[in-house]
Amino acid sequence: MHDTTKTTRTGMNPIIIMMLIVIITMVLTFVLPSGEYQRKDKLVIPNSYQVIDKPISVANFISASLTEKGKGQAAPVGIADTLQSVPEGIAKQSGLIFMVLFIGGMFGILNKTGAIEAGLERTLVLTRGNIYLLIPVIMVIFSAGSTFMGLAKEYLLVIPMVIALTGRYWV
At 9-29, the pLDDT tens digits run 678 888 899 889 999 999 998
Per-residue pLDDT averaged across 82-97, rounded?
90
Q: How far apart are CA 43 and CA 152, in angstroms?
A: 27
The residue-averaged pLDDT of 76-103 equals 87
pTM of the model: 0.56
Mean pLDDT of the region 66-90: 78
What is the structure's pLDDT at 67?
55
Of 79, 32, 85, residue with least CA distance to 54: 32
Higher pLDDT: 67 or 114? It is 114
CA 144 to chain CA centroid, nearest Å: 23
Q: Is residue 160 scored above 80 in pLDDT?
A: no
- The yes-or-no verdict on residue 170 having pLDDT over 60 is no
What pLDDT was estimated at residue 72? 61
Q: For residues 23 and 129, which has the higher predicted lDDT (pLDDT)?
A: 23
The pLDDT of residue 5 is 63
Confidence of residue 2 (pLDDT cuts 50, 70, 90): low
Q: Are 105 and 111 in contact (CB under 8 A)?
A: no
Residue 64 near residue 71, CB atoms below 8 Å: no
